Structure 1
Amino acid sequence: MAFYRPPSTILLASTSPRRWELVARLRIPFESCTPSGVEELPYSNEDPARYVDRMSRLKAVSTATAVGNNRLVIGSDTAVTMGGAILGKPSDVLEAESMLRFLRGKTHQVITSVTLVSPDMNKVLTKNSAISVTMRNYSNLEISEYIATGDAMDKAGAYAIQHKGFDPVSRLYGCYTSVVGLPLCILSLQLAEIGFDMQQIPCGSGPDSRNFEISSCDAKNLDESGKSL
């Protein structure tokens, strides 16, 4: 098996600061870019897991095609889903408020898909992670104050689990980094499978660790370097 070691061979097809920070924890050279020509809208009655898989593949493959060979490309997509509804990024303040009221005090799923395209484009690996998340019973005032920060507007479901001011989640069942936007447990396995010299990173509560219940993937915490404690 060939190992892809040259610097700057990894291209993250995302401009999300959260995904950038998570990939940076792997301590390997990478660059990021905006995926071209990707419209993030689900088909009518599309299954949420199939939707995020389709989006992550589209982002990764379209970027790999645009930049040519010799770049290992990562694409990812996240959706919040409850009761069959797929909640993407809110289009305006009113939709953000509606999403947060809809999720309040209930358990929903966050599904994140990761796709890797090998430098020779002969391998395309896609895998998703579905995590159950329970929201706390925050007030209408807290919703308004959080939306006023602007943080909700570029997040699926109109919230960030890691936002310390709003702190919307009461319990998490699974991989914290998946809910943030990029499951490092899946990504590290895919990198190793595609031929990159990479050790597996276990699931865990990750950066900004709090007392969530972690119940899958042999959960362990990550320190600030992204290594398991």
Structure 2
Amino acid sequence: MIQGVLFDMDGLMFDTEPLWGQSWEPALAAHGLSYKPGLAEACRGAGSSVNRQRLLDWYGPDCPADAVISDMHNIAEAKFAAPVPKKPGLDPLLAWLSEQRIPMAVVSSSREAVVRRNLDNWALGPYFSALVAGDKVTRPKPDPQPFLLGAQMLGLEPGRCLVLEDSYNGVRAGAAGGFVTIMVPDLMPPTPEIRALCTAVCPSLHQVLELLRAGEV
């Protein structure tokens, strides 16, 4: 029986991933670099330290990776001042979990200020007992540390918690931590590797709610 739920944010709760993806090209251009196809997908769902290394791998050791990432965040975060759309099924899922008194946490690779802004824009903050942001961990996704910290903050064992993720890096983190992990694909379909790591793949949060109501996770 699931005793807690850990929510990713970008692409899972809110339709923010396209905005992040669109921010790479101008951030790179500011440093005289061209966007390479596939970079956004490789970096999706991972923390800044992981993406820093990816930039160095893709562009070489002279790439000003920290500056590019900082600019990318600033460009994307400016787009989040206005509320971004919620993903289908989020509201009924949160309401049902709250009715069942199942504690919830947000575990995101985004900065804490961005997470809180997105939650506050839709008045969703009261649903969550804990928040783990990307700038508060030393080993970001795909490392399981963020989810392990979220479970600890809820006072629960990983095996009793459900992780909801849309990205490959997030699914890898949930599975590595021993969590029940469901992928709700956003921009990237599950690969054979990712399917093997998931308890289930659901087309939307509506189907996640159906599984929970049926006691199937």
The TM-score normalised by the length of structure 1 is 0.27
Q: Which has the higher strand share?
A: 1
Q: Which has the higher helix share?
A: 2
Ranked by relative contact order (alpha carbons within 8 Å, sequence separation 6 or more), the top structure is 2
